[in-house]
Amino acid sequence: MAHERTLILCKADAVARGLVGEIIARFERRGFTISGLKMLKVPAELAKRHYAEHEGKGFFNGLVEYITGAPIVALVVEGEDAVEGCRSTIGATNPIKAAPGSIRGDFGQTIGRNLVHGSDSPGSGEREVALWFTPAELYPRDHDQKEWLVSA
């Protein structure tokens, strides 16, 4: 187990549908800690840097529009194996294939409106946290509480 940070985005459809509270609650209930949280209208430059790995793909322009067209909520979530844990809570990229009980499996219908982003590796987590949040915007918890949240 490793203590990790992951970037979570409640995308435009999650905000528009009033699902932000429901989504955040699922990470909190699993024992993860929120150490950064903000609502913003995403600049195109930030969206393109965030999704740089998908540049050139057919869905890229639509993806940038999806993420920049309306306000989103961005979070930093921390905890033991937070990257994998949050990805499993989010579910598969295509909501139709996502397991019931996951966010996308419970609330999503189409891959182009899949509600949430979560970093896909610890390296991506660190890169994305630095891209989206300044150190002054982060409030890391005292992780002494960790021993009460997980056991080795």
Residues numbered 64 to 103 that lie near ligand IDP (CB under 6 A) are 93
- Phi then psi for 69, rounded to 5 degrees? -75, -25
Q: Which stretch binds ligand IDP (CB under 6 A): 21-29, 33-41, 107-115, 135-143?
A: 107-115
- The yes or no reply on residue 20 touching ligand IDP (CB under 6 A) is no
Q: Which residues pair with 9 in a beta bridge?
A: 74, 117
Cα 111 from Cα 109, distance rounded (Å): 7
Q: Which of 18-26, 68-76, 114-122, 126-134 is the region at the interface with ligand IDP (rule: CB under 6 A)?
A: 114-122
- Counting contacts by CB under 6 A, is residue 16 touching ligand IDP? no
Q: Stretches 1-9, 10-18, 113-121, 126-134: which one binds Mg ion (CB under 5 A)?
A: 113-121
Quickly count: other Cβ atoms within 10 Å of residue 94's Cβ: 14
Q: Identify the burial level of 31 via C-beta atoms within 10 angstroms of its C-beta, where 0-12 means exposed, 13-18 middle and 19 or more buried.
A: middle
- Is 54 one of the annotated active-site residues of the chain? no
The number of residues that bind ligand IDP (CB under 6 A) is: 9
CA 115 to chain centre: 9
Active site residues: 117
Q: Which residues bind ligand IDP (CB under 6 A)?
A: 54, 59, 63, 93, 111-112, 114, 117, 120
